[in-house]
Structure 1
C-alpha cells in the first residue's frame, strides 16, 4: 500500500481533529461564559470578601476581561495542556481527569466489549430465526431496554442483586474506609460487576436490533437466494454470505456508540456511586467547577473522535475494498 496515501489519509484525519477540538473548546467556553455560573462565586462559596479581594479573584480567574480575550487565553492554555485548577479538588484539572478517567476506562471498556459481542450474537440469532419466538423475545427485550433510562435500569439491578439477593455491594469503587490503593482485586472487581452489567445491558440493544435487521435484508438478497438454491443452508450459509456483510455496519455502529457509552457511564456511575469521570462531571456541573467541567468536555470530545477513528481503521481489516477506495479518494 502506498505510504504517501496513508500519510494523506491520516493527515486529513488530524486536520479534522484539530478543527473539531477548536470548535468544541470555543463553543463550550462561550456557553459556560453566557451561563449564570461564576467561578469566583463558586470559589468563595458565599464567603464575605471586600471588593478589592473580589477584584483579585476576578483577575486570577480571568472573568474581568472581554469574551474574545478569555477565549484566546483558554485556547493558549489548552494548547499547552493546561486546563486550569479544579475548584472542588484544588488540584490541576488534568491530574483529576487522569485519575477519574482511569477508573471509568475499565468500566466502559468491559461494558463496550460485552455489549458488542453479546449484541451482535443476539442480532445474528434473531435474524436467522426471523419470526420465531427467539426473534420476538430479542425484539421485545431491545425495545424495552431502549425505552428505559440507564439510571432506572441501574437502580433495578442494584435492588435485585444488592438489596434483595445480597450478592454484590451496593456501590462505591472500594469498601468504605479503605483506600483505593489498599483495596484488593476482588474488592474492586465485585464493585465493578453491577455498573458493568447495567451499561452492557443498555448498550447491546441498538447493536442487536441493527444486526438483526441487516441480516434479514442480507438473507433476502438475490445472491443468498442463489446460494440456497445450490443447497447451502443453516449456519454455513450465515458464515459464508452473511457475517462479512453485516459485520462492517455493526462495527461502525459499535464504535459510533462511544458518545452514548460516555453518557450512559455518567448516569450509571451516579447510581452506583462509582468514582469515575461520569460522577466527576456531575459534581463539576452541580458545584460550578468551570475548569473541571470544560476539561471533561474536551476529553469526552477526544474520546468520541478516537472511537470514530478506530471505526475507520477497523474497516481496512474487514473489507480490503474499502481500504483501496478510501486511500484512493
Structure 2
C-alpha cells in the first residue's frame, strides 16, 4: 500500500535541503562573480569612447565598488519579496527574461529528453536481448564513442554536415530572421529545433542504452528467466514479459537523474546553434557581468535540476513496488 505519510515527510525533507542548497549556491555565485576578472563596464561599452561622467554613471549602474556583502543582502531582501531585479543588459525584469528564454529551452530539453529516453531504452533492450551479436557490439561501440565526445563537438559536427554541407537544416536561431513572431509557422520552428534537439539527445541515448543493456543482461541471467525458458518462452515475448517490466522503472529513474547533464548540454548546444534559450542568456550574463540575470538563472537552474533528482528519488523509493515491499518488511 502506498504510504502518503512517508512521502510527505520525504518531500518535506527535500524542501529543507533545497532551501539550504539555494542559499549555498547563491553565496558561492556571489563570491565567484566578485572574483571574476571581467570589468562589467568595459564589457558593456566595448571600444566605445565615453566621458568621465558617463563612466561614473555606468559604474554606479553596474554596482562597481559596492561591497559584496551589501550587494548580497540587497539581492536577498529583494528575492524574498519576489523581485529578482532588472537585467542590466536586456533592461527588463529578470523573471521576464527567464520566462521567455526558459520556454524555448524547455521545449528543446523536453524533446531531446524524450528522444534520448525512447531511443536509449530501445537500443539497450536490443543489445541486451541479442547479447554478443553484431547488434550488441554496434550499440556498445556507438555508446562508447559518443560518451567520449564533448557535446559541443558533436553539435559543431552536426551543424557542419547537415546545415553547411548538405543544407538540410538552418544553421541556427529559433525562428527565421526578419519574420515577426506571429508569422512564424510551426514548421519554421520545428525545422530549427530538430538539429539542436538531436545533438543534445546524443549523449543521453548512450547513457540510457548502456544502463538498460547491463540491467537486462543481469535479468536474463537470473534463475526465473532460466525457468521461463524451460517452460518454452523465448524471443521477444520472454524479454517483454520478464525483462522490460523489470528494467523500465530503473531506466526512467536514470532518465530523471540526467537533468543536470541535460541542462549543461543545453547551454553548449544553444551557443553552437545560436538558439535563443536560457543557456545563451546565461553565457551572455556571465560574459557581461549581468549579476541579477546570472543569479536568477543559477537559482532557477538549481531548482530545475533538483526537481529532476527528486522525481527520480520518488520513483525509486515510492513507485517501484519491489522497494516498497522491502521497506514494509523491515
TM-score normalised per structure 1: 0.89
* Residue correspondence of structure 1 range 22-171 to structure 2 within 5 A: 22-42=23-43, 45=46, 48=50, 50=52, 54=56, 61-171=62-172
1:43 Cα deviation from its structure 2 partner: 5.0
- Render the CA deviation track for 1:263-297: whole Å, top value 9, x for unaligned: 11111111211111111122222222222222211
Moved over 6 A (4+): 324-329
Change (3 A) 1:59 1:166: closer
Which region of structure 1 is more displaced relative to structure 2, 89-98 or 235-244? 235-244
1:316 Cα deviation from its structure 2 partner: 6.5
- What residue number does 2:206 align with? 205
Whole-angstrom CA distance in 2 between matches of 1:101 and 1:52: 34
* Residue correspondence of structure 1 range 128-277 to structure 2 within 5 A: 128-277=129-278
Change (3 A) 1:277 1:233: same
Query: Which secondary structure does the structure 2 equivalent of 1:203 belong to?
Result: helix
Q: Is the 8 A contact 1:174 1:188 kept in 2?
A: yes
- What residue number does 2:9 align with? 8
Q: Is the 8 A contact 2:151 2:265 kept in 1?
A: yes
Change (3 A) 1:317 1:193: farther
Whole-angstrom CA distance in 2 between matches of 1:230 and 1:216: 20
Whole-angstrom CA distance in 2 between matches of 1:325 and 1:294: 42
**Cα RMSD, aligned residues only:** 2.6
Query: Which secondary structure does the structure 1 equivalent of 2:90 belong to?
Result: coil
Q: Is the 8 A contact 2:7 2:318 kept in 1?
A: no
Change (3 A) 1:327 1:268: farther
Change (3 A) 1:258 1:232: same
Q: Is the 8 A contact 2:30 2:68 kept in 1?
A: no
Whole-angstrom CA distance in 1 between matches of 2:22 and 2:151: 28
- What residue number does 2:321 align with? 320
TM-score normalised per structure 2: 0.89
Q: Is the 8 A contact 1:21 1:301 kept in 2?
A: yes
Whole-angstrom CA distance in 2 between matches of 1:301 and 1:7: 22
Q: Where does structure 1 lack aligned partners over 5 or more consecutive residues? A: none
Query: Which secondary structure does the structure 1 equivalent of 2:183 belong to?
Result: coil
Whole-angstrom CA distance in 2 between matches of 1:30 and 1:319: 41
1:169 Cα deviation from its structure 2 partner: 1.6
Which region of structure 1 is more displaced relative to structure 2, 35-44 or 280-289? 35-44
Query: Which secondary structure does the structure 2 equivalent of 1:107 belong to?
Result: helix
1:254 Cα deviation from its structure 2 partner: 0.8
Q: Where does structure 2 lack aligned partners over 5 or more consecutive residues? A: none
Query: Which secondary structure does the structure 2 equivalent of 1:181 belong to?
Result: helix
